[in-house]
A and B are shown apart, each in its own frame.
Chain A
């Protein structure tokens, strides 16, 4: 099941294809290795191409082929374990290097991590079939505020922005008081 923007997403059009497996029609994701090795074949077919990045194995390769990765229609980050937080930095780095397509978090993850993933820049999270989507959606909203600026917007309100806004409002209010001559 796929969760997008804090809701259950309608059906998923992507198929994960292994190395050496024939490419079916339609949208597919392939491993980073295959994505880089078969770029022409992949581009020549109908359907879009996404790439799967495993933070455990692909870090160096992904970093040295940032331009190629940027052309993928989908980047799927496969978390090897929920305690392995490398994926968060991979997502963040992808956004920073200018990747604008969909980023999907997949693999071993906890409901509590949903909000963090989105904050780092992921659009969608794939959860296992047996999992309770409601728990995920609830946990994503458990904390309504965030201190970190410069990360992707989510429905959590950014504290620093709120404070800056309040500061500006105070300044404006003071400016108006000063500018309005008192009637005597």
Chain B
């Protein structure tokens, strides 16, 4: 994991001191809410329905156990004992007092964390594959690039007052677990003809009221050119992105209006113009190596080589002996780069619970288990789950028992019960409908162990308004909460997907009342079960047959 040097630490410390002064001026009445707003937004502080909300950055979803313990402490001390992990790999605290926020930020800085650029029209916290560095299918760990981007984008003098917020996602693997095609910029690592790793650059993806899949503007870009190239993209966007209408201000609209080719040409021109300056500029190779060294796997070569298959054997035996454990393994384990190891997903989706919420105790438990079983490292996924990336196969069973004791052993990662959901009308000022109760209801309905297994891989995403924080556009089943004449209703989309075959879901027909949504989703799932061929997942079946059979089931009667 990256560790701050003296400079990184000082940047954050100074920011905390500055914000402490601003909060004091606000509390003393020297600043009006109007004047204070842009200042607090630059520090991740939102004013929500009932209270202030603080969004803390988890850069590219990587946390140390020490950081997770600090988050637990903050939840217990300054909040109502829980935190909410978001679809952008961040964590939100829903009930802090404004006067406490400088102290919270101070505490965060002790563990090299901050809330910088988690809101506002700037380059937001960069997100990445939660399995980065550990995934079997990965070409290279993308996190050194992510850390470079984090530093480069922090208080960028030119790009802090953009037309709109700006999100960058990075993956180092062919399997896209970072949803890069629905980000303002997505970077996908692959090898060029000569075998050198570099990035495909995808621009103009996004969700919200105008969902779009990003377009490739560069097939391959060398790793050491990333920052200069990003700078060119940002300059074109900053100068030409629309500022007349907030709903048309994201880069996706610019790319759409002038066309991906024209956009690419402008970026290339800008890049060529500045190349002389920036290609030679810092960060130099030494600095890039310095950052990369921090991300070396915590498992040494010797240990990796010494694997004799005993661990895997032990795991197989435990699975054979314990059906419940086996079910959990099927959902939760992913293939590791290093033999004898597994990547473990810890579902934050107990049936009937609030997706992504974790109590202080649960955070502490996961931190403790990470220390025992995962070299003290934890990840946050955009599915709002936690991940332990460095677990020995031989110890998975013991880890599972620990998780079960903390109520964290839901065997539903990647299945119907693994519902992705934004805070909705229970917290959010922008919401048009509640989303959490819908998730809870569906979690109970579809979350039966056998039922989920039977349904197989399925993503259900729920957003409480058109802003799509619950990523409903890219859910296999997407649910969007809306409001008409004071009543909540829910629009269903089908066929969305957030992976390397990213797709925006199709609106299937008129919406459903809150009490009808459960039946409607049941009907959709039932239709799939009826029409599927052997081994066919929901999304595959949908792509084969299209929307018709589902429409018929939902609306024909």
> In whole Å, how far is B293's beta carbon from the nearest beta carbon of chain A?
13
Q: Report if B548 contacts A (CB, 8 A).
A: no
Determine the chain A residues whose CB is within 8 A of the CB of B219 once the complex forms. none
**A180 to B509 alpha-carbon distance, docked (Å):** 81
**A88 to B161 alpha-carbon distance, docked (Å):** 9
**A3 to B155 alpha-carbon distance, docked (Å):** 22
Closest to A79 in B: B161
User: Would you give the 0/1 interface string for A155-167, flagging 1 where the beta carbon is closer than 8 Å to chain B?
Assistant: 0001111111001
Known contacts A112-B39, A160-B282; A86 and B239 CB within 8 A of each other: yes
**A88 to B287 alpha-carbon distance, docked (Å):** 27
Determine the chain A residues whose CB is within 8 A of the CB of B257 once the complex forms. none
- Interface residue SS majority, chain B: helix
Q: Report if B238 contacts A (CB, 8 A).
A: yes
A147-B155 in contact (CB<8A): yes
Known contacts A143-B15, A151-B157; A85 and B282 CB within 8 A of each other: no
Known contacts A84-B243, A89-B239; A120 and B158 CB within 8 A of each other: yes
Q: Report if A181 contacts B (CB, 8 A).
A: no
A89-B157 in contact (CB<8A): no
State how many residues of chain A have any CB contact under 8 Å with chain B: 39
Q: Report if A146 contacts B (CB, 8 A).
A: yes
Q: Report if B224 contacts A (CB, 8 A).
A: no
B155-A143 in contact (CB<8A): yes
B274-A96 in contact (CB<8A): yes
User: Would you give the 0/1 interface string for B282-314, flagging 1 where the beta carbon is closer than 8 Å to chain A?
Assistant: 111011001000000000000000000000000
> In whole Å, how far is B41's beta carbon from the nearest beta carbon of chain A?
11
A144-B158 in contact (CB<8A): no
Q: Report if A149 contacts B (CB, 8 A).
A: yes
User: Would you give the 0/1 interface string for B250-288, flagging 1 where the beta carbon is closer than 8 Å to chain A?
Assistant: 000000000000000000000001100110011110110
Residues of chain B touching chain A, judged by Cβ–Cβ distance below 8 Å, are: 5, 7-8, 10-11, 14-15, 17-18, 38-39, 121, 151-152, 154-162, 235, 238-240, 243, 273-274, 277-278, 281-284, 286-287, 290
Apart from A110-B38, A149-B282: 16 A-B pairs, beta carbons within 8 A: A84-B161, A85-B121, A85-B162, A86-B239, A88-B157, A89-B235, A89-B239, A143-B15, A147-B11, A147-B151, A147-B152, A148-B158, A150-B281, A160-B283, A163-B7, A164-B287
A-B contact pairs, 6 of them (CB 8 A): A86-B238, A92-B158, A143-B14, A146-B155, A150-B278, A160-B287
